Every structure is written in structure tokens, then in C-alpha cells.
Amino acid sequence: MRRFVPLVALALVAGCSVGSGGDSAGEGAGDRKVVLVTHDSFAVEQSLLDRFRERSGITVEVRSSGDAGALTNQLVLTKGNPLGDVAFGVDNTFASRALDEGVFAEHRGPEADKGQQRYAVDDSGRLSAVDVGDVCVNVDNALADPPRTFEDLADPRFKDKLVVEDPATSSPGLAFLLGTVAHFGEQGWPGYWARLKANGVKVVSGWEEAYTQEFSGSSGKGPRPIVVSYASSPSAEVGDDGTPRTTALLDTCFRQVEYAGVLNGAKNPQDAGKVVDFLLSADFQKTVADKMYVYPSREGVALPESWTAAAPLPQDPATLPAADISANRQRWIEQWRSTVQG
């Protein structure tokens, strides 16, 4: 996701090691290392990783690689000589490609059936769902008579008010495109985008530019009051009085799920599986909302109190089968380019 998630409190930089210990996998308790390849928005509490190392003897080294799309591309290009042992951050818009390319190995750990199975791509056990981060249109609550639906966004009342991300360069941009495909159908979505274009939609390269520079409801105080972001984004926009300054339009959401898996050819597959289990554990899952502004995949994990009103999990988001996304992704993007940028 993310990705294409709202700004996080802690981002681990590429190549950093978390915990202490040696650099060689399998040297002994406290000196084993697992390389976790992930996206730029991965975040975790240092104390949590320290406790994991104390229990398991495993040091986790984090290497980041752009957003979900860039991460998937790197994993495919390096599958013969994998970048690490575990990957986290491939989402459902790219998961089928990674599986078709044989990037991941099977792993069925003790934590894999605690709710994550609801979001399984297939029954192979190669990918486990770690979090959910639905992409939705967000509105600045200062906007009078705001839109509610996809159709409303093309209304002349909202001319020059919407900013979206390019689906060719942005994970939420792609998710929003897929949401329009799911909503309007194969024959209807290009015409819808033509109407958005005529209504002055602005396209930017990524989430950060759209949300923090163009959107009026964020810290950047940009000129446009409607943006493609996340269902969780309003939780970061709660004022001192406890009232959210923004609202996610839950009828425009597309479900985005992030997965973790053991990489085929990993130098340390056994310990890599333990890291996947850690990402699915209750200890890690209860931190993902605060640290990465996403919803836990595990059942029974409470959300922060502020999310109850500001950022409830959408109950009926749009979805598309992974196989359909895999078969049509590039064609849809090219058709979008022709419609919107041609």
C-alpha cells in the first residue's frame, strides 16, 4: 500500500538493521539475520523488533524499494538472485504477477489462519495478508455540499476540485482506476474518465504530492478539496476538538491488501518464515494502525479509539479478482493514458 499510505511516524531507511547481532545467517542464537525487503512506508516500533530478537535470536535487516509497484518489479527482476529472505508490501494489484513469476515460496505458519485467510490471493500459502488499506476519495470537510459517489465527481459543481494519482506511477492511483473499472464495468469506465477530464481533474505522479501539496484538507493546504487517498486518512486529520477535518467517501473505496512471503531462493528460509509469522502476530498487528495508517488483517485486533468515528473500515469496498487485474492491468493503464493524457 502504500504505498502509498498517509505519512507515518517512523520509516525505516534502506539497508538498516533493526535489533543487534551478527551479519551472517545461521551463525547461532542472537546472530541470525533475515533480510526483509519492503516498500518505503514500512514502519515498526524498535522495541517490538528488539523483543522479537530476544525471543527468536533473529535480527531483521530492512531494505526498502519504492512503492508496491516498484517493489514487485524488483522482486521479479531479481528472482534468480533474490534481494533478501522475506518481502512485505506486494499488494493485491500486483500479487498475481509475483506469484506467476515464482517469486515466493510456500510457507504455512501457525499465525496464518487468524483472519488473514479472508484476503488470500490463492490457496498456495505463498502470500499472507498483513494489512488492509482501502483507497477512497477523501474530501475536505470545509467543502459545502460535498460529493458522495463516483458519479458526483464528474458533476460540474466539482469542476477543478479533484486531484488523483497517475495509475502508471502510483499504487493508490492504480487502485482508484481499478475501483472505477469495478464500478462502471469494462465498457463504462473510459467514458467516466473522459467526463472527469472534462471536469478538470488534475493528475499528479504520487500520493505525497496529491495529498500534501494539492489537497486543501492536509497540512499543505493546497487548492483542491477532493483527493484520492485512504479510508484511514481522516484519522490523521483530527483537530484539537476531536473532530475530523476530512472524510473518506466509503462508496468510492477499492480494497487494497498488502502481503508478506518467503522469497524463493532465500538464504535463510526457515528463519524467514518466522519473520512472516511475526508480521502476522497479534503483537505486530496491533501496531499497524498507529505506525502505518492501515487496518490489521488479523481478526480481533482493536483499532485506535480515534478511528471509530474518523476512519471505520469500509464494509463493502470494490474488488476485482487478482487474475483479472493481472490479465488487464497494463491494457487498462494504457487505455487510461489515451483517455486522460492523450
Task: Tell me if 11 is assigned to some domain.
Answer: no
| Residues 109 and 238 reside in one and the same domain | no
| Residues 144 and 245 reside in one and the same domain | yes
131-140: average pLDDT: 96
| Residues 157 and 119 reside in one and the same domain | no
The total of structural domains in the chain comes to 2
Q: Give the Cα-Cα-Cα angle 252, 244, 176 (nearest 5 degrees).
A: 20
How much of the chain, in percent, has pLDDT values that exceed 90? 73
pLDDT at site 31: 64
| Residues 230 and 332 reside in one and the same domain | yes
Task: Tell me if 302 is assigned to some domain.
Answer: no
Q: What is the dihedral of CA 314, 315, 321, 322, to 10 degrees?
A: 40
| Residues 60 and 128 reside in one and the same domain | yes
| Residues 182 and 325 reside in one and the same domain | yes
Q: pLDDT tens across 234-262, in order?
A: 999 988 888 899 999 999 999 999 999 99
Q: What is the dihedral of CA 162, 168, 170, 173, to 10 degrees?
A: 40
Give residue for cell 477530464. Answer: 197
Residue 1 has pLDDT above 70, yes or no: no
| Residues 83 and 30 reside in one and the same domain | yes
| Residues 170 and 241 reside in one and the same domain | yes
| Residue 12: band (very low, low, confident or very high) from pLDDT cuts 50, 70, 90 | very low
The CATH number of whichever domain residue 229 belongs to comes to: 3.40.190.10
> Which residues are bridge partners to 131 per DSSP?
258, 296
Nearest to 42 by CA among 100, 83, 91: 91
The whole-angstrom separation of Cα 251 and Cα 270 is 42
Residue 15 has pLDDT above 70, yes or no: no
Residues of the domain holding 115: 16-132+256-296
The whole-angstrom separation of Cα 31 and Cα 293 is 32
Q: How many CA atoms lie within 13 A of 243 on its CB side?
A: 6
DSSP for 35-64 reads EEEE-TT----HHHHHHHHHHH-EEEEEEE
pTM reported for the whole predicted model: 0.83
Nearest to 16 by CA among 46, 57, 56, 52: 46
| Residues 282 and 157 reside in one and the same domain | no
Nearest to 62 by CA among 279, 290, 310, 225: 279
Task: Tell me if 36 is assigned to some domain.
Answer: yes
